[in-house]
Amino acid sequence: MTQSTLTRSWIASANGHSDFPLQNLPLGVFSVQGSAPRSGVAIGEHIFDLEAALAAGLFEGAAKVAVEASLGGALNAYFALGKSARVALRERLLELLSEGSTLRGKIEAQGAKLLPLAADCELHLPAKIGDYTDFYVGIEHAKNVGKLFRPDNPLLPNYKYVPIGYHGRASTIRPSGVDVRRPKGQTLPAGQNEPVFGPCARLDYELELGIWIGQGNDMGDAIAIGEASEHIAGFCLLNDWSARDIQAWEYQPLGPFLSKSFITSISPWVVTAEALEPFRRAQPARPQGDPQPLPYLLDAHDQAHGALDIELEVLLLTASMREQNLPAQRLGLSNSLNMYWTAAQLVAHHSVNGCQLQPGDLFGSGTLSGPDQSQLGSLLEITEGGKHPVELASGEVRKFLEDGDEIIFRARCKREGFASIGFGECRGKVVAAR
């Protein structure tokens, strides 16, 4: 079934929905009133229950195989099936949920059993995450942070040759809405020679895109750059919460450790590669003088179509704002086009040494700041390390995050002639250290 840019759904709330119109159809895992977690698809203000729809006989063939693989409260087996399964399920969902569907009556007859309201559901992590890797491909962020620590040499020589990354902690990844407990750790106060232990005082967020791995590879086998995009199941928003004072003391010589591993927040819906197809762009041209990627990272099709045009927004809601009924304040508005490397290049590089990637592995893009002050993706950059506090509409100021502050990420894909789609929110509220 061909997806029309103007196709409407018989589910009224999907038509013009800010995030989940018919053209999106992201997958996730949810529960209702304490039920076991189950797979579903976001559509307007509802969730289409895939398990209930399977029991109702609404799927057959490849689409049925895809739904069966999504059962059990995790999408790993579904991710492992690859693109053909995603396409088969998407085409069947479009048949079921588009305006004029011959099965509308059968679905409506089951009401909330098939289409519970999302507001009545609890959302979970969509997959069991075996491994998590955080990259550093936002070049504007890399330059900004580099200037703070190395004013004369912001980018180290390897940056433009190697997609820099580090192995993160999968066990503390949580879905949107889970509180962020202020971490404790060692820090080195200014002017002192010995560290102290206590709560982080310079807590920060990082605006990132999450990349879900679909089909993996055997250990010892590399994924070729021309095939790498086929190994990506979908995307989400990711907040790489960072304890900057702990990070400054621990990061040499091996990089982030306890400053990053206390929690990572993600949006719970997996926006598929197919839904994002209209928003693909050519990878932005590298500045004159930058080296061409090495051959194992260079593919003509990926360079022509491998970038994504996703608007990324950061908002802050403080405890005082909530008390005053003030709206959340925007701190930054950036775009995924600020990635120096494509998602496919990350997959190819990660596996080139024979490292095994597995369905449900998660990548973080690194902070995706833009070149302008209004496009920065962390307080570290906005305040230049705390030198220039942010003034808020509530009369407050912020160098870094305080207890009670809530950070909200949103994303939007827009293109003339196509339905706009979003990712749902990635939220986290800071609570005091234990």
Annotated ligand binding at 361? The verdict is no
Q: How confident is the model at residue 204 (pLDDT cuts 50, 70, 90)?
A: very high
Task: Flag the least confident range among 36-45, 154-163, 173-182, 226-235.
Answer: 154-163
Query: Mean per-residue pLDDT for 231-238?
Result: 98
- From 345, 341, 350, select the one nearest 286 (Cα to Cα): 341
Q: Do 132-431 and 12-124 have the same topology in CATH? A: no
* Known catalytic residue at 231: no
Annotated ligand binding at 416? The verdict is no
Annotated ligand binding at 136? The verdict is yes
Q: For position 239, what pLDDT does the model report?
A: 98
- Report the distance separating Cα 293 and Cα 257, nearest Å: 29
Query: Mean per-residue pLDDT for 111-132?
Result: 96
Structure-token pair, residue 26: 């992201």
Q: For position 5, what pLDDT does the model report?
A: 59
Annotated ligand binding at 179? The verdict is no
- From 203, 188, 180, 236, select the one nearest 362 (Cα to Cα): 236
Of the residues 17, 46, 141, 350, only one is catalytic, namely: 141
Q: Kindly list the domain boundaries of the chain, sorted by start residue.
A: 12-124, 132-431
Q: What does the pLDDT look like over 69-114, one tens digit per residue?
A: 999 999 999 999 999 999 999 999 999 999 999 999 999 999 899 9
How do 406-413 and 180-181 pair as beta strands? unpaired
Q: For position 46, what pLDDT does the model report?
A: 98
Q: For position 41, what pLDDT does the model report?
A: 98
C-alpha distances in angstroms, 423 versus 21, 264, 267, 284, 377? 11, 17, 7, 23, 17
Q: For position 1, what pLDDT does the model report?
A: 39
Query: Mean per-residue pLDDT for 232-251?
Result: 97
Percent of the chain beyond pLDDT 70?
A: 99
Q: What does the pLDDT look like over 283-294, one tens digit per residue?
A: 999 999 999 999
CATH superfamily of 132-431: Fumarylacetoacetase-like, C-terminal domain (3.90.850.10)
Annotated ligand binding at 206? The verdict is yes
- Per-residue buried b or exposed e for 235-270, using 16+ beta carbons within 10 Å of the residue's own CB: bbbbbbbbbbbbbebbeeeebbebbbbbbbbbbbbb
Query: Mean per-residue pLDDT for 340-363?
Result: 98
Annotated ligand binding at 159? The verdict is no
Per 3-state DSSP, what percentage of the chain is helix, strand, and coil (rounded to 5)? Answer: 25, 25, 45
Annotated ligand binding at 367? The verdict is yes
DSSP classification of residue 202: S
Q: How far is CA 400 from the centre of its chain?
A: 22
Q: For position 7, what pLDDT does the model report?
A: 86
- This prediction's pTM: 0.96
CATH 2.30.30.230 fits 12-124, yes or no: yes
Annotated ligand binding at 208? The verdict is yes
Examine the pLDDT at 2 and tell me if it is beyond 50: no
Examine the pLDDT at 3 and tell me if it is beyond 50: no
Annotated ligand binding at 251? The verdict is yes
Q: What does the pLDDT look like over 156-172, one tens digit per residue?
A: 899 999 999 999 999 99
Q: Residues 337, 281: contact at Cβ < 8 Å?
A: yes
Q: How confident is the model at residue 417 (pLDDT cuts 50, 70, 90)?
A: very high
